[in-house]
Amino acid sequence: MYPLKFYPILKERLWGGTKLKEVLHKPIESEITGESWELSGVKGDISIVSNGALSGTSLQQLIDDRAAELLGKSVVARFGKDFPILIKFIDAKQDLSVQLHPNDKLAKERHNSFGKTEMWYVMDADDGANLIVGFNRDVSKEEYTESLKNDTLLDLLNYEKVGRGDTFFINTGKVHAIGAGVLLAEIQQTSDVTYRIFDFNRKDKKGNLRELHTEQALDAIDYKKKDDFKVNYGSNPNIVNPMVDCPYFKTDYLHLTENWNLDLSKRDSFTILMCVSGSARIANENGTADIKNGETVLVPAVSRSLSITTDNVELLEVTI
Cα 219 to Cα 213: distance, rounded to the nearest angstrom: 11
Q: What is the pLDDT of residues 210-219, one digit of tens each?
A: 899 999 999 9
196 counts as catalytic:
yes
Beta bridge partners of 41: 46
- Whether 148 is covered by a domain: the verdict is yes
- Whether 304 is covered by a domain: the verdict is yes
192 in the same domain as 47: yes
186 in the same domain as 95: yes
The reply to whether 111 sits in an annotated binding site is no
Cα 148 to Cα 221: distance, rounded to the nearest angstrom: 14
139 in the same domain as 44: yes
Q: What is the CATH number of the domain that holds 248?
A: 2.60.120.10
Check: CB of residue 182 under 8 Å from CB of residue 125: yes
Cα 91 to Cα 78: distance, rounded to the nearest angstrom: 32
The reply to whether 255 sits in an annotated binding site is no
Average pLDDT over residues 106-110: 92
212 in the same domain as 265: no
Beta bridge partners of 74: none
274 in the same domain as 144: no
Q: Rounded mean pLDDT of the chain? A: 96
Phi-psi region of 173 (alpha: psi -120 to 50; beta: other; left: phi over 0): left
Q: How far is CA 3 from CA 51, 58, 75, in A?
A: 9, 15, 18
SS3 62: helix
Q: Is the pLDDT of residue 241 over 90?
A: yes
86 in the same domain as 18: yes
CA torsion 13-170-275-257 (nearest 10°) is 150
Range of the domain at 294: 241-319
Residue from 164, 196, 202, 267 carrying the catalytic annotation: 196
The reply to whether 118 sits in an annotated binding site is yes
- Whether 167 is covered by a domain: the verdict is yes
Q: What contacts 14, CB < 8 A, 6 or more positions away?
A: 32, 34, 94, 202, 204, 205, 210
Determine which of 105-114, 122-131, 249-258 has the lowest per-residue pLDDT on average: 105-114
176 in the same domain as 45: yes
68 in the same domain as 214: yes
68 in the same domain as 35: yes
- Whether 214 is covered by a domain: the verdict is yes
Q: Count the domains in the chain.
A: 2
What pTM, to 2 d.p., does this model score? 0.95
143 in the same domain as 23: yes
